[in-house]
Amino acid sequence: MSLIKSLIVVASFTVFSGCAPINIEKPRDDLDNIVSAKGIPLVIKEDFRGGQIPFWDITLFYNDGMLTFQGTEDKSHFFLLSSTVSANLNVKQSPIPLWFKAKYPTLSWSNIPIK
């Protein structure tokens, strides 16, 4: 493989966190692990970050805490950035984005509003 092709392959798996790039050898999805364990969150906060490598910051709110993820532009892979544990966040169920329901169609969606 040529040097240019090697650089392109490495660059395609580089995610920027703050100022320093983080190289990821293969895609993983921390969001899948959390949602499998905890289920549908009560609130999802989404922030799109543009630039040379656009990405999403997603925060999931559960009664026992919140988790922040950084995700790819197409929302196919998410990496856990931080988690906060709280005795009770006291948040109510808010409408969940349609993309989240499409990503996790096997969850129990009865009585969950979708936006």
Question: In the chain, where are the structural domains located?
Answer: 28-103
Q: If we measure between CA atoms, which residue out of 81, 64, 99, 74 comes closest to residue 30? A: 81
- Rg (the chain; Cα; Å): 16
Q: For residue range 63-105, list pLDDT tens digits in order.
A: 999 999 999 899 988 999 999 988 777 889 999 999 999 999 9
* Residue 20 binned pLDDT confidence (cut-offs 50, 70, 90): low
Strand 20-23 relative to strand 78-85, pairing: unpaired
Other Cβ atoms within 10 Å of 4 Cβ, number: 8
- Which helix H or strand E contains 82, and what residues bound it? strand 78-85
- Which of the pair, 26 or 40, is modelled with greater confidence? 40
pTM over 0.75: no
